[in-house]
Structure 1
């Protein structure tokens, strides 16, 4: 089962000609999940030629303009295809008002159900086949949340050679063992799943954190992420400004990546004061703490493979 992330925009505050505003699309086989939708989201989706009009759910960190102004266009263009499946939208308080007002003022033609759910407490907000999405609190100038998409553990690998050695005929009995059920083999002997199935294998974890001051609690929330997308808005010399505006420096983001044991951390949501060349300063400072730091750019693609 494939999982991959596409950075649709990596900028913060205002769009630049070469940098759209913050948005990430996560694809898990046929399921599509959008994390924030800043200005320019549709442009990157089009340039990546992604079949995105049947997004399952949108997860909004907060209702500042640079994270939601791309959403009305997403809702309208999604109506250009036939769909009966609802589109779920999650976010902190006021996201429902923003969506409803946009639909009303723009006279949107919508031919599918839109279900908006406001997050008032941390916990699981969405569940699917073999995974769930959890929201957790951040600290910004208005209510803001981070998200993790976590897969459930997968069954261990089935050992067909051992099954044959234990006189278990191919067919339904193999399936029962893989589902965790004990069976009786051809010799009338009970065979337990652990005799032919290895240990459970871990699933994958994707985390999205943006627009927050540094909090030690974030590392615990994103613990063990295969891919952590994390804001790194300022360099060290702007630490006071970052604190005042409740943002993070790239070095603080790296501390979260290090302390959480994340396998990969990609910076996002840069201040427009930094040109693409200047971004290397953010990367260098982060890499002093977390050497594997990656700078995201618009339309960057990340594969998220199983560890095994």
Structure 2
């Protein structure tokens, strides 16, 4: 099962000609999840030829303009096709007011259900049969949350030789064992899945953290991420400014990646003061703490494979 993250915009505060505002699309086979929706989101969706029509849910970190100004366009765009499935929108208080006011002022034609759920405490906000998405608190100048998508453990690998040695021939009974069902062998013996399946294998974890001051608690929330997309807005010489505006430096983002033992961390939401060439300063400072730190760029694609 594929898990891919598409960076639709990596900028903060204001869009630049080469840098749209913060937004990441996560594709998990047929499921599409959008994290934040800054200005320019539609442009990157089009340029990447992504099937925006099937976005299942949108997760908003907070209601500052650089994270939500692309949302009305996405809602109207989705109404241009036949859609019966609901679109879920999650975010802290004010998200519902923003969406409903935008619909009213812009006279939006919406032909599908929109279900808005506001987050007031850490909780699981969205889930499927083998994954869930959880929100947790951050600390910004207004209520802000981070998100993690975590897959449940997968069954262990099926051992066909073991099954045959226990009198279970190739065929439908193998499928039952792999689905967790007991079967009866040719000699009348009850064979359980644990007899022919290896140890459970871990799923994957994706984390999205932006617009927050540094908090040690964030590392606990994103522990063991296979991919951590994390704000790294300022360099060290702007640490005071970062503290005042409740943002993080690249070094602080790297500290979270290191302490959380994340397998991969890519920074996002850069201050517009840095040109693309100057972003190397952020990267260098982050790599002094977490050597595997990376920079995101608009329309960059991250594959998130299984560890095994």
In the superposition, the TM-score normalised over structure 1's length comes to 0.99
Task: Say what the alpha-carbon RMSD is for the aligned residues.
Answer: 0.8
- Name the structure 2 match of 1:34: 34
Equivalent position of 1:144 in the other structure: 144
SS in 1 for 2:20: coil
SS for the counterpart of 2:96 is helix
1:269 is matched with 269
Q: Point out where structure 1 has 5 or more consecutive residues left out of the alignment.
A: none
For residue 4 of structure 2, what is the aligned residue in structure 1?
A: 4
CA distance in 1, matches of 2:69, 2:76: 13
- 1:3-82, aligned counterparts within 5 Å? 3-82=3-82
Can you list the C-alpha shifts for 1:243-293, whole angstroms capped at 9, x where unaligned?
110000000000000000100000000000001111000000000000001
| Alpha-carbon distance between aligned partners in 1 of 2:184 and 2:235, rounded to the nearest angstrom | 64
Residue matched to 1:104: 104
Q: Per-residue deviation at 1:166?
A: 1.3
- Give, in whole Å, the separation in 1 of the partners of 2:129 and 2:18: 37
Give, in whole Å, the separation in 2 of the partners of 1:144 and 1:210: 9
Distance 2:108 2:41 in 1: 18
Alignment partners' CA distance in 2, 1:111 and 1:54: 14
Q: Deviations over 1:144-196 (max 9, x none)?
A: 00000011111111111211121112333222221223322111122222221
Count of aligned pairs between the two proteins: 308
Distance 1:10 1:113 in 2: 29
Once residues 295 and 172 of structure 2 are traced to their aligned partners in structure 1, the CA distance between those partners, rounded to angstroms, is 49
Residue 102 of structure 1: SS of its match in structure 2? helix
Matches within 5 A, 1:107-122: 107-122=107-122
1:131 alignment partner in structure 2: 131
Query: Could you tell me which residue of structure 2 aligns to residue 286 of structure 1?
Result: 286
Residues 1:162 and 2:162 aligned together: yes
Kindly report which structure 2 residues correspond to 1:184-203, keeping only aligned pairs within 5 A, or say none: 184-203=184-203
5+ long unaligned stretches in structure 2: none
**d(CA) in 2 for partners of 1:176 and 1:276?**
54
